[in-house]
Chains A and B, each alone.
Chain A
Amino acid sequence: MTASQTVAPQTFEPLMEVDGLTKYFPVKSGLLGRATAVVKAVDGVSFNVAQGETLGIVGESGCGKSTTARLLMHLITPTAGKLRFQGKTVGTAEMPLKAFRRQVQMVFQDSYASLNPRLTIEDSIAFAPTVHGVSMVDAVARARRLLDRVGLEPKRFAGRYPHELSGGQRQRVNIARALALEPSVLLLDEAVSALDKSVEAQVLNLLLDLKEEFGLTYIFISHDLEVVRFVSSRVLVMYLGKIAEVGPTDALYEASAHPYTTALLGSMLSMDPDKRRTAAPLAGDPPNPINPPSGCRFHTRCAYAADICRTREPALSLVAANHHAACHLSDPTSGHTRPTRPAVAEVTA
C-alpha cells in the first residue's frame, strides 16, 4: 500500500487504468536546439476511473491537469506510462488508438477555438462520425439529433457558423460534437470554466442529464473547487505533476489528508462570514517544474514540512476507504506526525 504511487485495488472494475503516466517536455536552447533541461509536467501519475463515475481533477495552473488530459487523449505522446481501457492496453492490437478514440472524447475549454470557423456547426459535429465510416447523411442527421438534445433547435442552429453563437451555445455544440461518436467516456478539460456563472450552471446541468441518459463516465478537469464538488463522485488533487491526494468527494472536502488539499480548500470562498479568512492559505507560486523540489514537492510551501519531507518522496498511502494521500503525515511508518491538527488525527485513526 505504501510502496508505490498506485491507487489500491478498488471494489469496482476499473474502466480506465492509468499507470505511471509521465510527460517531460524538453527545454531546448542554443543554436543546435539541444535539450538542456526538462519540464516534468506530469511525473508518474497512476489512477483508475470506474465505469459511470465522475472523477474530478483539480490543481493550480501548471500542475499538469491539462497535460494529463492531452496524454489521456493521446494528443501528445507520453514519455512513459501505460493506459488500459476496458482491461486492454491502448495503442496495441487489442485496443487500437482509433477504437479507443471512439470510446473516449474530449470537450475543450475554449469554445470558440475548438470549433472550425469555416464549418457550419452541423458539419463540425458530423465530422467525427464520417471518419468512422458513417455516411454523410446519417452523420448530419445524428448531428441534428444531438443539437436538439443539447438544447439547440436544429432548424435554427444547424446551418450557422461558430461566430454567430454565444459562448454557452458554442460549448453545447462542443458537447454534441464530443457525443457524436457515442463514446463511453467524456474528458472535460475546463469545459465550463470560460462561461459566466448562469450559463455555467445550465451547461453543468446538461452534462449531468447527458451522463445519466447515455451512461457516460466523466473525467472533469477544473480549477474551480465548487464546480468539481458539485459534479464529482471522486476527486484527484494534483500538485506539480504528481497526485497529492485522491478520494471520494465528501471525504476529501470534509477531511482532507494532504496539507496542499487543505490549503487549496481554504482558498474557496465561503458564504458564511464566520468562516472568512484574512490570511492567504498558501503563499507564493508553485516551484518551477523544471527543477522540482527534492523529496515531497510541496515541502517548500507546506506548513508542516519536516526533514523527512525534504529528502524522501512520500508514496500514496491509504487514509480511509478509497482515500489516499501522498504525505508523510498520512503514513504512520514515516515517523512524521502533526499534533496541531486533530481533524486529520481522527481520519487516520
Chain B
Amino acid sequence: MISIATVPVLEPVQRSPGYWATVLRRFSRDPVAVGAGIVVLLLILMAIFAPLIAPADPYKGMALRRLRPPGTDGYPLGSDELGRDMLSRLIYGARLSLFIGVTPVFIALFVGSAIGITAGYVGGWVNTILMRVIDVFFAFPSVLLAIALSGALGAGIANSVISLTVVFIPPIARVAESVTTSVRTRDYVEAARASGASAFRIVRTQVLGNVAGPIFVYGMSLIAVSMILASGLSFLGLGVKPPEPEWGLMLNTLRTAIYTQPLLAALPGMMIFITSIAFNVLTDGLRSAMDIKS
C-alpha cells in the first residue's frame, strides 16, 4: 500500500461551475435564444393547458357559421369549414402537432445515439456494417421515406410517429458516430482503457459526457424538420385523421377556402412556422452557448 500524508477525508472543496452550468449561463446572455426558448415554453404550456385556455369546444361545429373571418363576434380567429372555433382548434392543435413533431426526434435520439456511439466506439467491421446499413436509408430523401413508410404502415398517429422515427435515426446515428470516433482516440479515453475499465464503463463515464451535447443539439435542430414532415403527412392524409385538431391536417381541410378566406387558411401554417422558427433559433442559441473555447 502506498502511504500518503493524510488529509481529512472528503471535506468540502471549492467547486468550479460545470460544463452545463456554463452553457446555461452563456445561453441566458443571448436574448434572441432566450426569446425563442420562451416561445417554445409557451407553446408547450398552451398544449398542456389547452382545455383551460381554449374558449370553445374544438370539435363542436355550427353548420350555419362556417368560414367566418377572424374577428367575428364569438370567433376571435374565425371559424373553419365546419363552423368550429379556429382559436380553440389552433390551441388544441398544439397538442398533437408538438407530440408528433417532438416524439420521433426523442425516440430517434436514443436509438440513433446507441447505434452511432456503438459504431464509433467499437470501430472496425462493426462500424462498417452499422454505418453501411444506415447509409441505405440516406439514399432516400427524408420526405419520400416518411411518406413511403406512412403509406405502408397506414394512416394514424402511432404510425406517423414510427415512420418519422425511422427517418431521423440515420442522421442522428451518423452525427453520433462521427463525434464518438473523434472522442475515442483522445488520450483520456486511452488512459481509461489503461486503467482496465470495460468498454461499457468507458462509454458511460468518459465518452457520453463529451458526445451528448453535439448529438442533442443536432436532435433539437431536427424538431423543426419533424414538425413540418408530420404536418405534411397529416396534410396528405397519412397522419392524424379528422376530426382531430392538428395544424397540418387543418391546413389541408382549409385549403379549399384559400380564395375566400386566405387569412383563415394561412393560420395553421403560421403556427407551424412560428413553432419551427422558435425551435431553430433555440437550437442555434444552444449551439453557440455550447461552443466554449477554453
Asked if chains A and B come from one complex, the reply is: yes
Shortest CB–CB separation between residue B208 and chain A, in angstroms? 9
Chain A residue at minimum C-beta to C-beta distance from B198: A131
Chain A residue nearest in CB terms to B6: A145
Task: Give the interface SS of chain A, mostly helix, strand, loop or mixed.
Answer: helix
Interface string of A97-131 (1 = CB under 8 A from B): 11001100110101001111111101010011001
The listed residue (A118, A159, A181) touching B15 by CB distance below 8 A is A159
Whether A98 pairs with B210 at a CB distance below 8 angstroms is no
Given contacts A161-B16, A163-B294, A214-B2, whether A127 and B192 have CB atoms under 8 Å apart is yes
How distant is the Cα of A81 from the Cα of B39 in the complex, in angstroms? 64
B210 to A: closest C-beta gap in Å: 6
> A75 touches which one: B2, B9, B194 (CB < 8 A)?
B194
Instruction: Give residues 182-223 of B contacting A (CB, 8 Å).
Output: 186-188, 190-197, 201, 205-206, 209-210
Interface residues of B in 164-198 (CB under 8 A from A): 186-188, 190-197
Task: Confirm or deny: A172 has a beta carbon within 8 angstroms of a beta carbon on chain B.
Answer: no
A155 within 8 A of B: yes
Asked whether B188 lies within 8 Å of A115 as measured between CB atoms, the reply is yes
Q: Would you call B4 and A145 a contact (CB within 8 A)?
A: yes
Q: Is the CB of B16 within 8 A of A120?
A: yes
A163 to B18, CA, bound (A): 11
Is the C-beta of A156 less than 8 angstroms from some C-beta in chain B?
A: yes
Q: Which residue of A lies closest to B294 (CB)?
A: A163
Given contacts A114-B187, A145-B7, A159-B13, contact A75 B193 (CB under 8 A): yes
In the assembled complex, the Cα of A179 lies from the Cα of B195 at a distance in Å of 11
B19 touches A101 (CB 8 A): no
User: Chain A residue with minimal CB distance to B19?
Assistant: A118
Stretch touching chain B among A4-12, A136-144, A317-325: A136-144
Please encode chain B, from 66 to 91, with 1 for each CB lying within 8 Å of some chain A CB and 0 for all others: 00000000000000000000000000
Q: How far is the CA of A122 from the CA of B14 in the complex (A)?
A: 12
Q: Please tell me if B52 contacts chain A, counting CB pairs below 8 Å.
A: no
Q: Which of B275-294 contact A (CB under 8 A)?
A: 294
With A101-B195, A155-B13 in contact, do A113 and B188 touch (Cβ < 8 Å)?
Answer: yes
A residues in contact with B206, CB < 8 Å: 116, 119, 127
Residue in contact with B205 in the complex, picked from A127, A132, A160, CB distance below 8 Å: A127
Task: Decide: A97 near B190, CB < 8 A? Known: A127-B205, A131-B201, A156-B14.
Answer: no
Does B63 lie at the interface of the complex (its beta carbon under 8 Å from any beta carbon of A)? no
Q: Does A73 contact B (CB under 8 A)?
A: yes
A158 near B: Cβ within 8 Å?
yes
Complex interface: chain B residues within 8 A of A158 (CB): 13-14
Instruction: Determine if B64 is an interface residue (Cβ-Cβ < 8 Å).
Output: no
State whether B13 touches A113 (Cβ < 8 A): no
Chain B hits for A102, CB < 8 A: 196
Categorize the interface residue count of chain B. Answer: 20 to 34
Q: Across the interface, which residues of A come within 8 angstroms of B209, CB to CB?
A: 116, 118-119
Chain B residues near A75: list those with CB within 8 A: 190, 193-194
Measured CA separation A47–B201 after assembly (Å): 34
Residues of B within 8 A of A120 (CB): 15-16, 18
Residues in B neighbouring A101, C-beta threshold 8 A: 194-196
Which residues of B lie under 8 Å from residue A312 when comparing CB positions? Answer: none
**Is B191 a contact partner of A114 (Cβ separation < 8 A)?**
yes
* Residue of A whose beta carbon sits closest to that of B188: A116
Cα(A266)–Cα(B169), bound, Å? 60
Residue of B nearest to A158 (CB): B13
Contact B187 A132 (CB under 8 A): no
In the assembled complex, the Cα of A73 lies from the Cα of B194 at a distance in Å of: 6
Which B residues are CB-close (under 8 A) to A161? 16, 18-19
Q: Which of A70, A102, A158 has the most CB of B within 10 A?
A: A158
Whether A28 sits at the interface, judged by CB under 8 Å, is no
Assembled-state Cα–Cα distance A131/B186 (Å) = 19
Instruction: Give residues in B with beta carbon < 8 Å to A.
Output: 1-2, 4-7, 9-11, 13-16, 18-19, 186-188, 190-197, 201, 205-206, 209-210, 294
Q: A116-B209, A116-B210, A160-B14 are in contact. List 6 more A-B contacts (CB 8 A).
A: A110-B187, A113-B188, A119-B206, A122-B13, A128-B195, A144-B10
Which A residues have a C-beta under 8 Å from some C-beta of B?
70, 73, 75, 97-98, 101-102, 105-106, 108, 110, 113-120, 122, 124, 127-128, 131-132, 137, 140-141, 144-146, 148-149, 154-161, 163-164, 174, 177, 179, 181-182, 214
